Amino acid sequence: MHRRETFTSEEIRYLELLSRNFPNMATASTEIINLEAILNLPKGTEHFLSDIHGEIEAFDHVLRNASGAVAQKVDAVFGNSLREKERRDLCTLIYYPKERLELVKRTEENIDEWYIITMNRLVKVCVAAASKYTRSKVRKALPEAFSYIIQELMHESEDDEDKMEYFHQILQSINSIGRSEACIIAMCELIQRLVIDKLHIVGDIYDRGLGAHLIMEKLMAYHDVDIQWGNHDVLWMGAAAGNDACIANVLRISLRYANLTTLEEGYGINLLPLATFAMEVYANDPCDIFLPKLTFADMEYSEKNIRLISQMHKAISIIQWKLEHALISRHPDWQMDDRNLLHKIDFEKGVVVINGNEYALKDIAFPTVDPKDPYRLTEDEQELVAKLHHSFIDSSKLFKHLNFMLDKGSLYLVFNGNLMFHASVPMNEDGTCKEVCLDGVNYKGKAYLDEVDRLVRMACVRKGKIDGYEFALDYMWYWWCGPDSPTFDKNRMATFERYLLADKETHKEIQGAYYRLRTDPAVCDRLLDEFGVEGAHRHIINGHVPVKTLKGESPLKADGKMLVIDGGFSRAYHSETGIAGYTLVFHSHGLQLVQHEPFESRRQAIENGVDIKSTRFLVEFDSQPMRVRDTDIGKQLRTQVEDLKRLLLAYRIGVIK
């Protein structure tokens, strides 16, 4: 006697809803077959980048070459049949198809023959790049104008004698009607699209480099991306949300690196009120210690421009320290009173008293600071802050980018056995998660990061009537520089000391226990357990602290459980790190760490085929490829298969009609 299958009333209601999408046994069966086939495909390649810091050209190139993954595909297909220069030229074409075509047309004698040969080669690379995907997924990635043609070329082989003439006739027809260039561009972009399945940005898109706004536009157009917020992203999010201390910090850092492009051209921030104020207040002040760091060799600065930037830099720095005092006063539980230093200045002696010690100031010309009430904003400063606030709040592009950061971003992410967060999880010296008080409630570990994530989203809605909104908006600044902030986690941010004191001992910022303990495999395992990360091969992936390769530091820590992929995209770090960043590639056979040399320029890449010199290191390798069924998406698909099998059974025994 067969056991009679039973269905609960709740399950029947669910299956009735499911039956709307799969109304009969045939449609349910087809979907089961499709999903089970997908589960057995190799997992898609994930690409991890961190600490981009506005370096648009280097970021754009790494995105186009997929940290060398495109070159690997080309080598795999043509390694024995094309010379190294031909393979390099083909890679450059795939990275920059439009620009490279213009050069080829000026130098190639028989352009029609070149078009046919190149399209033929690109088809082979497309086939290799698409090998781990279903036809349906590839079809969705195809450019609409060439969808049918590229599908035919990819699924017909010139090696098949019966189809060879058909294959070549398609190429000849494309060329004869003048569509070769458009088709080549479409195939190059398709290869870039297929080589990487998912992109992870482990924090710090903003500050230092000139192109953070352009990076955001590229990310918004990317097919699948997530972002784990970094401390510099936090700062810009706080500014976009309307936190005045965050706005002052954004302006100060931009002026420190002479980066007005992102502010003015990117987001339309009106800096004229700040410039006018600074020129009036500091007209006779050389502002020597506020000279900008000129890290962009390709930009020309006149002496007059440098002086103006220095004056603006000084003006906003003083305003920043005043605004920060107001926040610290409102939240004594943050225990940041040591950051209030203006009232400790002895203007007559030209010193500041810190912990009972006197330190000579490099600059004491602070005309807007009243020694009797040093944190009070002057009327002109108040008016300036209001104008800057309005300019940030009123920027439609900044608001659009803020919403994208909220939509695609989070403080941390667990995905396919990897725990990603930008900087830290505050810890005690014994390796346990540290309790942190937020608005009167204690949190630690995952619960703390979840609460911070919630506060961020509340602050960014720009509505003042929600209970807790004011605290959330204030917290955006603490998130940038607070001692127990998960994106900072140092005892202090010594901005005042670095600017005004010569004694470098006062500049030191002591990192939290996490940074010392993350080299311990047991601590990493405990943290992975805290966030519910499962699997034999699980890792923590961080950015934030540049890996100083020159000093022998390694991005691999804790027996490979911890990977730190901030090698220094930013030019400002190159002298410290000796390289230009790490990226991480996670494909079906394991993890590869990629170490990059500094990127010369986009022009050199296009004209001379100069790629970023990269060295690849195997972190983990498995001869048996990881399948979709082994991924987080695979778990969801397996659940869907089980649900569909229950629906199929319900159809068979008549529970669902």
Round to whole Å and give the CA distance between 330 and 311: 30
As beta bridge partners, residue 200 has 48, 226
* Pair of tokens at residue 130: 């698409």
Give the number of other CB atoms < 10 A from CB of residue 184: 24
Of 232, 253, 201, nearest in space to 485 by CA: 232
| pLDDT score of 463 | 64
Round to whole Å and give the CA distance between 31 and 37: 10
Of 371, 103, 425, 386, nearest in space to 247 by CA: 386
* Pair of tokens at residue 248: 């002052």
| pLDDT score of 541 | 95
Sign of the Cα torsion 49, 55, 59, 61 reads negative
Instruction: Give residue 357's identity as a one-letter amino acid code.
Output: N
Round to whole Å and give the CA distance between 456 and 291: 33
Of 129, 41, 35, nearest in space to 628 by CA: 41
Task: Describe the crossing of helices 97-107 and 84-95 by its angle, rounded to 10 degrees.
Answer: 130
Element (H, E) at 97: helix 97-107
| 3-state helix, strand and coil shares in percent for the chain, rounded to the nearest 5 | 55, 10, 35
| pLDDT score of 167 | 84
Phi–psi pair at 511, nearest 5 degrees:
-70, 155
| pLDDT score of 445 | 96
Instruction: Give residue 97's identity as a one-letter amino acid code.
Output: P
In contact, 351 and 361? CB cutoff 8 Å: yes
How many angstroms from the chain centroid is the CA of residue 191?
22
Round to whole Å and give the CA distance between 373 and 366: 13
DSSP 331-377: -GGG--GGG--GGGEETTTTEEEETTEEEEBS----TT-BTTBTTPP
Round to whole Å and give the CA distance between 609 and 602: 10
Indicate the length of the chain as a whole number: 657
| pLDDT score of 550 | 65
Of 327, 330, 322, 319, nearest in space to 373 by CA: 322
Round to whole Å and give the CA distance between 482 and 490: 8
Burial group, residue 592, by CB count within 10 angstroms (0-12, 13-18, 19+):
buried
Round to whole Å and give the CA distance between 628 and 308: 56
| pLDDT score of 1 | 42
* Pair of tokens at residue 446: 């995952």
Round to whole Å and give the CA distance between 215 and 548: 25
Using CA atoms, how far residue 139 sits from 16, 223, 385, 629, in Å, is 31, 14, 52, 22
Q: Provide the edge-to-edge strand list for the sheet that holds 351-354.
A: 345-346, 351-354, 357-360
Q: How far apart are the first and last CA of the chain?
A: 25
- State whether residue 429 is helix, strand or coil: coil
Using CA atoms, how far residue 386 sits from 377, 470, 478, in Å, is 12, 18, 21
Could you give the angle at the alpha carbon of 457 between the alpha carbons of 211 and 569, nearest 5°? 25
Round to whole Å and give the CA distance between 48 and 582: 9
In contact, 453 and 410? CB cutoff 8 Å: yes
**Mean pLDDT per 10-residue run, the chain (657 residues)?**
75 94 94 92 91 90 88 90 92 93 92 94 93 85 86 74 80 91 94 94 92 96 96 97 97 95 96 97 95 70 91 98 97 95 95 95 96 97 98 96 97 96 96 94 96 94 78 96 95 96 94 95 96 91 81 84 78 55 84 76 73 66 82 93 94 89
Round to whole Å and give the CA distance between 391 and 389: 5
Q: Which residues contact 170 (CB under 8 A, 6 or more apart)?
A: 149, 152, 153
Buried b (16+ CB within 10 A) or exposed e, 109-135: eebeebbbebbebbbbbbbbbbebbee
How many angstroms from the chain centroid is the CA of residue 184?
29
Q: Which residue, chain included where needed, has tokens 């190059």?
A: 188
| pLDDT score of 115 | 94
| pLDDT score of 575 | 55
Give the number of other CB atoms < 10 A from CB of residue 636: 11
In contact, 196 and 222? CB cutoff 8 Å: no
> In 6-51, which ranges are E strands?
46-49
Task: Describe the crossing of helices 379-393 and 231-241 by its angle, rounded to 10 degrees.
Answer: 100
